[in-house]
Amino acid sequence: MFTLDNLFLLLTGLTAAYLLWRFYTRWSKAKALYDVYYIMGFLVLLVSGLLLIFLGLGILSSPYVLTVASLIPLGISIGLVEQYFPQYKRAFKWFALVGFLAIAVTSIAGAELGRKISVPLFHGVAGLVIFLGPFFAKKAAKGFWMVGVGGLLIGLGGIALAFIANGAQLLFFSPAFVMAILTPLLLLMTLAFTWGFVKDIRR
């Protein structure tokens, strides 16, 4: 049965696919490494959205899905650092690698304490980079700040999901409320990213 959630997820997937095409087009000309990281993040978003359509929101509780989904904020944040803050790229890549491995090991191994620490920590830092980075990026295109709006949305959604997975609640983000707003939040996030990144690609 095709639901409203599935409609939001389908629109999110189509928007992500469009953005992937724009990144690939730019990469094919300049071969910039940051486009590879952007492609990784949004490709995972596209695949995750399709899985949610066909398998339902219940798969969010899977440790494997949690691990792979972490590549969305990590990929986008690495791309931003690579493109606009190259002086920090080496250190941040190591941070992202450690974060991904920590999330993977603690989630798949069922190490609850480690997962309760690693997921909010690394998702939170990646979200902050995506949120604040566009506002401090020098020589960024006009309108690139919308990427920061997308970062705010992905940060709130990701941290709220992390708290719920850990058996807690973030502010008024109850499990029922998060599930109700998750799919439209994903769409708004992707639209904000698309607006900002396309401005950057077109300059």
22-78 per-position pLDDT tens digit = 999 999 999 999 999 999 999 999 998 888 888 877 776 777 887 888 889 999 999
Q: Residue 20 in contact with residue 198, Cβ under 8 Å?
A: no
Q: Residue 69 in contact with residue 107, Cβ under 8 Å?
A: no
Percentage of the chain surpassing pLDDT 70?
87
What is the pLDDT, as a whole number, of residue 181? 75
18 pLDDT higher than 60:
yes
Type of residue at 107: S
Lowest mean pLDDT among 93-97, 105-109, 130-134: 105-109
Q: Could you tell me the pLDDT band of residue 111, with boundaries at 50, 70 and 90?
A: confident
What is the pLDDT, as a whole number, of residue 166? 56
What is the pLDDT, as a whole number, of residue 127? 86
107 pLDDT higher than 60:
yes
Q: Can you tell me whether residue 173 is helix, strand or coil?
A: strand
Q: Residue 199 in contact with residue 143, Cβ under 8 Å?
A: yes
129 pLDDT higher than 90:
yes
Q: Can you tell me whether residue 85 is helix, strand or coil?
A: coil
pLDDT in tens, 152-182: 887 776 666 665 555 555 555 566 666 677 8
Is the pLDDT higher at 115 or at 44? 44
Q: Can you tell me whether residue 172 is helix, strand or coil?
A: coil
Quote the pTM value. Answer: 0.89
Residue 200 makes CB contacts below 8 A (sequence gap 6+) with 140, 141, 144, 147
What is the pLDDT, as a whole number, of residue 157? 67
105 pLDDT higher than 60:
yes
Rounded Cα distance between 66 and 71, Å, is 9
Q: Could you tell me the pLDDT band of residue 110, with boundaries at 50, 70 and 90?
A: confident
What is the pLDDT, as a whole number, of residue 136? 93
The pair of structure tokens assigned to 19 is 């953005």
